[in-house]
Homo-oligomer: A and B are copies of this chain.
Amino acid sequence: MDAALDLYERLFGAVLEHRASVEDQGVDAASLRIGTSRVELLAPLSADTPVGRFLDRRGQGLHHVAYEVDDIERALRDARAEGAELIDPEPRAGLFGLRVAFIHPESAAGVLVELVQPTNGERDG
């Protein structure tokens, strides 16, 4: 994680917003600002975690894409109405106090998708 943070700061001008070790999700996570977007770096706390298993299977790389929504309950209702398979039928607490829910990659052309409703302090512009 330290090496990746250094890399993102040097190479892409990323600005660190938050960093935390989240035991119950098994990750060391860092939220970075790059331009108008955010990039989240994830490192596993042990091999037997979702991110540890991803790394073991695929190696380092892109894990998922997150879209910011204003109203995550409505976004989940709309996604379900469009036939999406929801990993999280209800919003749950994500990293850094965000409210999140994941959509199954089978429903999104092979891409794991996270819907994120920021807390007020995190909202863009």
Seen from chain A, the residues whose Cβ lies within 8 Å of a Cβ on chain B are 3-4, 7-8, 10-12, 34-37, 39, 41, 59-62, 64-65, 67-68, 79, 82, 84, 103, 105, 107-111, 113, 124
A10, A62, A68 — most chain B CB neighbours (10 Å): A62
Nearest Cβ on chain B to A115's Cβ, whole angstroms: 9
Asked if A7 contacts B61 (CB within 8 A), the reply is no
Asked if A10 contacts B111 (CB within 8 A), the reply is no
Asked if B62 contacts A65 (CB within 8 A), the reply is yes
A36, A59, A113 — most chain B CB neighbours (10 Å): A36
Asked if B60 contacts A11 (CB within 8 A), the reply is no
Asked if A111 contacts B67 (CB within 8 A), the reply is no
